Structure 1
Amino acid sequence: MTTESAQKVTKTFNYSFPTCTNKDVFFKLEVPVDIPYDGSSGELVQRIIKMFRIPVFLEDELNEKLSHFISEETKTFHNDRDEKLINQLKNGELNLEGIIKNWEKSFKDNVLEYAEQKGSSDEEVFAAAYHKLVHSPALDTIMQVESSYANTVMSMIDSRDDDTKKLTQRQTEEMEEKMRLLNTSTTEDDINALAAKHFEEQSVTSGRWESQLDALRHAQRAEHRAWIMSAIDDYQLNENATPSNSPLCTLPPELPPAVPAPPRLEESFTIHLGSQLKQTHNIRLLAADILDLCSVNRGDSGTWSRVQPALALYSSELSGVVLLAEHAPERSPLAERARRATEHHFPDVHLQLRDIADKVKEPAEARNKARGSSRSRALQPGDVFISRHSNLMDAHVVYHLLVDDDNINSGDITSRHPAILGLRNILKSASCNDVTSLAIPLLLRHDFTEEMTMSWCLRRAELVLKCVKGFMLETSAAGGTDLRTLTVLLPAAAPQLFQASGQLLTSIFRLASPVRHH
């Protein structure tokens, strides 16, 4: 905007009204008004009435005419100004760079004056530092530090389990001795008192170990964060150097050797989805315990290797796992596994699950009441709650799908079953939140039982695969992140079912390349 266009002009507002004694005689009023007028026309009317002692009954008429005058003159002012600017632009008379700089300065000044003064949070700063370091030569050092931390936690957990086992064995022997002497030198009251004593001992021991583990995790988390923030400063000074101030200098140089994992059945397919704009996806068929994907240590490598999850932690290529849940969030089978290593980036899994349980109570109970449900639990089959992790081998996000339903275990289900609809919601959530790799239990079961015949398993697998294919097409059409890798898991130790499921998968999805065996 030029200086000339920012100036105002003065226009004269004319108003006349008859005198009280002779209607043929008029008082004439001339008031200079700056256009554009920044104030209130109503306030200006009151000032005019008071200054010139105009009768009050003329207020409405004066207000209407003054408002109309200001409106029309403002339009004329803007039209004249804009026409002048357009002509200047056509003739090359405008300094565009100067106008842009003036607007930029005005915008910055306005933001500084009125915008909320908020900088990056500590979590955001730590995330940025960690992301930069794991994509630098410091990656190996970070992995070793986190590996040593995890082994320390696991060692304390092993000591806790051994202590608890010894206490349980001693208490069992004491109770058996009391029971042997029942009705001789021991009464039922003595046995009840001993049982109460044993319960108290177990509670004290459990509380003591849990307190020690919490203290260890808290200390490790604080030390890890302090080291990362110190290391990023050193790295930025010399980007080719690995941080030297590593906590490893105070730790044993050698880590316990890893136990080799048993071989597992696995097969990969590359497929195309879509009729016009085809999307390429990778599908893995895997026979394994799905909780192995939620482990904090892997036995098939020589070190506690979490390189790929660490590299993708603060990225748009996250990994997710669908874990079937039969209980409330705080009773998830994942909790104890995830706590075998300190969580350095998100709240502890117990805190996450307790927070979820608290937050879902009120809305879930309101929903159940509105639907006339008589269930005592807040969550129902098909509901999903999510936990976030940085210490698991194959998952940043765990989708806990509630399947507390007899039909999911024994009977045939349809595409409208709550568990299937829950899978649909999970795929939508994955698409909206940068989860590009997802693992699901193909049979919506984690283990085999006697009633799971070959025909039952293939019917269930066919339903799940067809529904998931439809959901992938649906989410792809809706936009968002494409699911690049879908892992479907079967319970381990089922070679015949694995082969039949592979043939079923190739018949449902369109293969883009030959099957690759591993």
Structure 2
Amino acid sequence: MTADTVDNPTKTFKYSFPTCTNEDVLFKLEVPVQIPHEGSTRELVQRILNMFHIPVYLEDDLNEKLAEFVAEETKNFHNDRDEKLLNQLKTSEINVEGIIKNWEKLFKDNVMEFAEQKGTSDEEVFAAAYHKLVHSPALETILQVENSYAKTVTNMLKNRDEDIEKLTQRQTEEMDEKMHLLKLSTTDDQSSELNDDINDLARRHFDEQSLVTARWGSQIDALCQTQRAQHRTWLMNTLDEYQTTSALNTPSNSPLATFSPERLMTPAMAPHQRMEESFTIHLGSQLKQTHNIRIVAMDLLDLCTVQHVDNPTEASRRLQTSLALYSGELSGVVLLAPSGAPTAPAGLHAAAAASADHHFPPLDVQLKDIADRIKEPLEARNVQRAGSGTGSGSGSRGGRLSAGDVYVTRHSNLADAHLVFHLVADDAALRSGDITSRHPAILGLRNILKAACCNDVTTISLPLLLRHDLDEETTAAWCGRRAELVLKCVKGFVLEAGGWGGAELRTLQFAAPPRTAPALFMALAHHLPEIFRLSNPVKVKPPP
């Protein structure tokens, strides 16, 4: 006997019952039954009743006895078989490798027969091709091609803005002329006629503005779609060339090679000096993990916007973003969003529209897809809240997103971010009031960090005060309390992330509003060494 072939034995089922005329005389029945029995015992009983003309009143008793017999013999069969197999395994009589290979073959055959026949998608092929080429000598060529595409889109956006500005200026002059005539009118009839003309002119102006905006929007969309198709075709052809020749010539006019180091930071290109502080910290009690913590006074949209297409400093930012696009070291940024339908700030729309996204759908398409996907979950949540009596808030009615909800958009054409986490934070308490660690926005941060760890995001930037700006109501004391709460909660979430699996959040960047005063910034930065354990070098005095 081996593990591959085991004979199924046949056992004899014995049953006796008294005859109708004399109870002392027993009618004995013997039926061979194969163990394990693959059929139904009730069906076998019916066959026995019909074959041997057994009285019907014995059906229940016969069925009970047969079922007990089959169960007992099946248990004995499995026990004997397993004992013999274990003994063979101890004595090395069983070919374990052969069993494994046989099971592997059977599994593959089963998968090939019943699994859905699905090959690699075009998106996966393109992603693999792009990832291979950006880590090859073709990197600078790819950046140059994308740079030229971005210039074309930027020029078209500039022409659109100039066209709309000229139209607006002409319409303003026409409206001012009509309004001037209205002031000079002397009779009611003239005023009434001029009012009608002004209304007609306003309607005509609105139609002209709508027509021009739609025309330019259609042209820009067509340009981006054409660039997307051309870029993919060129990239796949470049990959074929690279695999054939194993080498690619780097162009002499590469945007990364035409500038000397001295020109990289000329006064005209030098970025605005920001207030920032960086720390290296350790988290964890036994297995410590090292993280980089950075606090900076900046607008988080600066991480999304490429300021100058021809600036080599900006090109270097795009280089790092391209290298990490299909890797396990993604970068994310958290932007605050209003309640209601999924939307994005105007600055993000402008940054995403400045060049065609060759890898992901346009921002508007992504937001529309998110709005369609969240309809059913929002309706289910509203029904649940209504049933529990907690859905009275205006933010939970009508399928609206409320504080703490998060949606994500993907990008490949931003400066320093691959993912944008939109945290709904349209709440009066977040504007100026004090909140607790159980506030929905804080729990939304936890969900963001969890999603980041589970999706290879190793660098994330988030608003320190859960606000993008400051006003008269935000005092220094309030800013200190809010920063302390956010830092402590994020520290707890990062410690908790150790059990979530996935990527490790190596860099955390906390952004204070850009108009933060220097004294307030230093006070906020002082919270970091108080809350986190810094990684300081140990100073050892030399022996005397």
Query: Under a length normalisation based on structure 1, what TM-score does the superposition of the two structures give?
Result: 0.88
Q: Which amino acid aligns with 1:286?
A: V
Runs of 5+ unmatched residues, structure 1: none
Task: Kindly indicate whether the alpha-carbon contact (under 8 Å) linking 2:3 and 2:99 is maintained by their aligned counterparts in 1.
Answer: no
Is the deviation greater in 8-17 or in 316-325? 8-17
> 388-397 or 363-372: which moved more?
363-372
Tell me whether 1:512 sits opposite 2:535 in the alignment. Answer: yes
Q: Which residue does the alignment assign to 2:455?
A: 433
1:291 and 2:314 aligned: no
In structure 2, what is the equivalent of residue 348 of structure 1? 362
Which residue is equivalent to 2:273?
Answer: 264
Deviations 1:401-432 (A, max 9, x none): 22223343334444444433332332232233
Per the TM alignment, residue 451 of structure 1 is displaced from its structure 2 partner at its CA by 4.1
Give the Å deviation of 1:235: 3.6
The residue identity in structure 2 corresponding to 1:364 is L
Q: Name 1:207's counterpart in structure 2.
A: 214
Match of 2:80 in 1: 80
Q: CA distance change for structure 1 residues 163 and 513 in 2, over 3 Å: closer, same or farther? A: farther
Opposite residue 511 of structure 1, the aligned amino acid is L
Deviations 1:187-228 (A, max 9, x none): 101000000000000000111111111111222222223333
- Aligned equivalent of 1:32: 32
After superposition, the Cα gap between the structure-2 partners of 1:68 and 1:274, relative to the gap in structure 1 and judged at 3 Å, is: same
- The 1:4–1:457 alpha-carbon spacing in structure 2 relative to 1, beyond 3 Å, is closer
Q: Secondary structure at the match of 2:286?
A: coil
2:540 corresponds to which residue?
none
Q: Which runs of 5+ in 2 are unaligned?
A: 538-544
- 2:323 pairs, out of 311, 323, 335, with 311
Three-state SS of the structure 1 residue aligned to 2:312 is: coil
* Equivalent runs, 1:45-64 vs 2, <5 Å: 45-64=45-64
RMSD, matched Cα? 3.1
- Which residue among 432, 435, 445 is the counterpart of 1:423? 445
In the superposition, relative to structure 1, how do residues 261 and 56 fare at CA in structure 2: closer, same or farther (>3 Å)?
A: farther
> Are 1:372 and 2:382 an aligned pair?
no
Relative distance call for 1:379 and 1:31 in structure 2 (3 A) is same
| 1:241 equivalent in structure 2 | 247
Say which SS state the counterpart of residue 461 (structure 2) adopts.
strand
- Specify whether residues 372 and 25 from structure 1 end up closer, same or farther in structure 2 by C-alpha distance, changes over 3 A only: same
CA offset at residue 297 of structure 1? 5.2
Normalized against structure 2, the TM-score is what?
Answer: 0.84
Deviation at 1:478, TM superposition (A): 5.0
Q: Is the 8 A contact 1:264 1:286 kept in 2?
A: no
Give distance in 1, aligned partners of 2:114 and 2:219.
Answer: 48
Question: Are positions 1:198 and 2:190 aligned together?
Answer: no
Distance 1:233 1:61 in 2: 77
Q: Return closer, same or farther for 1:225/1:18 CA change in 2, 3 Å cut-off.
A: farther
> Does residue 338 of structure 1 match 2:352?
yes
Closer, same or farther: CA 122–59 of 1 in aligned 2, 3 Å: farther
Gap change, CA 1:3 and 1:267, over 3 Å in 2: closer
Q: What corresponds to 1:275 in structure 2? A: 285
Residues of 2 paired with 1:91 and 1:155: CA distance? 80
| Equivalent pairs, count | 507
SS in 1 for 2:526: helix
Residue type at the aligned position of 1:125? V
Alpha-carbon distance change, 414 to 402 in structure 1, aligned in 2, over 3 angstroms: same
Compared with structure 1, are the counterparts of its residues 61 and 120 closer, same or farther at alpha carbon in structure 2 (3 Å cutoff)? farther
2:374 aligned counterpart, secondary structure: helix
Written as runs of structure 1 = structure 2, the 5 A alignment for 1:51-130 is: 51-130=51-130
Q: In 1, Cα distance between the equivalents of 2:248 and 2:107? A: 42
In structure 2, do the counterparts of structure 1 residues 506 and 85 end up closer, same or farther at CA, with 3 Å as the change threshold?
closer
Aligned equivalents of 1:242 and 1:48: distance in 2?
82
Structure 2 CA distance for aligned equivalents of residues 26 and 296 of structure 1? 99
Report the Cα offset of residue 166 of structure 1: 0.7
Q: Structure 1 178/243 Cα, relative in aligned 2: closer, same or farther at 3 Å?
A: same
- Contact 1:298-1:393 within 8 A present in 2 as well: no
Decide whether aligned partners of structure 1 residues 90 and 380 sit closer, same or farther in structure 2, where only a CA change above 3 A counts: closer
1:322 Cα deviation from its structure 2 partner: 0.9
Contact 2:134-2:322 within 8 A present in 1 as well: yes
Deviations along 1:139-172, one digit per CA (max 9) or x if unpaired, are 2222222222222222211111111111101100
Change (3 A) 1:243 1:101: farther
Residues 78-116 of structure 1 deviation map (CA, whole Å, 9 limit, x = unaligned): 222222222323333223332222222222222223333
Identity of aligned residues (%): 62
Compared CA separation, residues 424 and 330, structure 1 to 2 (3 A): closer
Alignment of 1:95-174 (within 5 A): 95-174=95-174
Partner SS for 1:157: helix
